[in-house]
Structure 1
Amino acid sequence: MRREELVDLNAFLAVAEEKSFTRAASKLGTSQSALSHTIRRLEARVGVRLLTRTTRNVAPTEAGERLLTTLRPALESISTELTSLGELRAKPAGTIRLTTAEHAATTVLWPALEKLLPDYPDIKVELSIDSGLTDIVVDRFDAGVRLGEALAQDMVAVRIGPDLRMAAVGSPAYFEEHPAPTTPNDLAQHDCINLRLMSAGGFYAWEMEKDGREVRVRVEGALAFNNVNMIVRAAKAGFGIGFVMEDHVVADIADGRLLRVLEDWCPPFSGYHLYYPSRRQPSAAFALLVEALRYRS
Structure 2
Amino acid sequence: MKQNFTVRHGALDGVEAFLSVAQHRSFRRAAAELGVTPSAISQAVRALEARIGAALFIRTTRSVGLTEAGQRFLSRAKPAFEELVTASEVARDLGQRPAGLLRLTAPRAVLTHLNQLIASFCQTYPEVEVEIAASADLVDIAAEGFDAGIRLGQFIEADMIAVRLTPSFPLAVVGSPDYLRRRQRPELIDDLRRHACLRMRRSDGSIAPWSFVNGNEAVEAVVSGPFIANDVPTLLGAAVAGLGLAQVPGPIAADAVKAGKLVGVLERFAPMAPGVFLYYPRYRMMPKLRAFVDHVKGRSGSANKIGIGIDDGRAGRRRRA
TM-score norm. by structure 1 comes to: 0.66
Q: Which runs of 5+ in 2 are unaligned?
A: 1-29, 38-88, 307-321
How many angstroms apart in 2 are the aligned matches of 1:224 and 1:264? 25
| Correspondence 1:169 to 2:160 | no
Q: What residue in structure 1 maps to residue 276 of structure 2?
A: 272
2:113 corresponds to which of 100, 107, 110: 107
Q: What residue in structure 2 maps to residue 186 of structure 1?
A: 191
Give runs of aligned pairs for residues 14-93 of structure 1, distance below 5 A. 89=96, 92-93=98-99
Letter in 1 for 2:130: V
1:293 corresponds to which of 291, 296, 307: 296
**Number of aligned pairs?**
218
SS of the residue corresponding to residue 138 of structure 1 reads: coil
Q: If you compute each CA radius of gyration, which structure gives the higher value, 1 or 2?
A: 1
SS of the residue corresponding to residue 185 of structure 1 reads: helix
Q: What residue in structure 2 maps to residue 223 of structure 1?
A: 227
| Correspondence 1:258 to 2:262 | yes
1:115-149 per-residue CA deviation (whole Å, 9 max, x = no partner) reads 01123221112211111111112222111122222
| TM-superposed deviation, 1:247 | 2.2
How many angstroms apart in 2 are the aligned matches of 1:155 and 1:120? 25
Residues 144/261 of structure 1: CA separation in 2 closer, same or farther (3 Å cut) = same
RMSD over aligned Cα, in angstroms? 2.6
Give runs of aligned pairs for residues 230-245 of structure 1, distance below 5 A. 230-245=234-249
Identity %: 31
Letter in 1 for 2:180: F
Letter in 1 for 2:121: L
How many angstroms apart in 1 are the aligned matches of 2:94 and 2:136? 38
Q: What residue in structure 1 maps to residue 251 of structure 2?
A: 247
Residues 165/2 of structure 1: CA separation in 2 closer, same or farther (3 Å cut) = farther
How many angstroms apart in 1 are the aligned matches of 2:99 and 2:288? 6
| TM-superposed deviation, 1:88 | 8.4
SS of the residue corresponding to residue 106 of structure 1 reads: helix
| TM-superposed deviation, 1:189 | 1.1
SS of the residue corresponding to residue 206 of structure 2 reads: coil
Letter in 1 for 2:200: L
| Correspondence 1:144 to 2:161 | no
| Correspondence 1:160 to 2:162 | no
Q: What residue in structure 1 maps to residue 66 of structure 2?
A: none
| Correspondence 1:205 to 2:209 | yes
| Correspondence 1:97 to 2:103 | yes
SS of the residue corresponding to residue 92 of structure 1 reads: coil
Contact 2:136–2:230 (CA under 8 A) maintained in structure 1: no
How many angstroms apart in 1 are the aligned matches of 2:274 and 2:35? 57
Contact 2:148–2:278 (CA under 8 A) maintained in structure 1: yes
1:139-186 per-residue CA deviation (whole Å, 9 max, x = no partner) reads 221111222222222221222222222211112222223221122211
Q: Which runs of 5+ in 1 are unaligned?
A: 9-81
Residues 191/158 of structure 1: CA separation in 2 closer, same or farther (3 Å cut) = same
Residues 2/123 of structure 1: CA separation in 2 closer, same or farther (3 Å cut) = farther
How many angstroms apart in 2 are the aligned matches of 1:111 and 1:154? 29
How many angstroms apart in 1 are the aligned matches of 2:113 and 2:292? 16
How many angstroms apart in 2 are the aligned matches of 1:129 and 1:118? 22
Residues 4/270 of structure 1: CA separation in 2 closer, same or farther (3 Å cut) = same
